[in-house]
Amino acid sequence: MSSREPLEAESPLGQNDGNSGFCCDFCGLEVASVKRVALDGDYERLRTPHKRRYACPDCSERKERARLGAASG
């Protein structure tokens, strides 16, 4: 049986300290939700070894613009 990660996932803030909410791995802010893009066209992060990181909406948007800009250039 293989486990598959969803295209977007959420990372709880302080899993071990009992806090609620989420923490952005890029800016460190506590936010209501975070996002992780794992698959998008040729972009694949399900099998590629890497550290899983979750982004707040602002960081996610910046990362997406940078990724799409790098792909087109």
| Closest residue by Cα to residue 53 from 3, 10, 5 | 10
pLDDT at 19: 58
53, 10 contact by CB (below 8 A): no
Domain boundaries, the chain: 1-64
Question: Which of 22 and 49 is assigned the larger pLDDT?
Answer: 22
* pLDDT beyond 60 at 16: no
Residue linked to tokens 């602002």: 58
What pLDDT is stored for residue 73 in this prediction? 66
At residue 3, the pLDDT reads 41
pTM of the model: 0.59
Name every residue whose Cβ is closer than 8 Å to that of residue 40 and which is 6 or more positions away in sequence: 7
Closest to 35 (Cα-Cα) out of 6, 14, 15: 6
Instruction: State the chain's mean pLDDT as an integer.
Output: 75
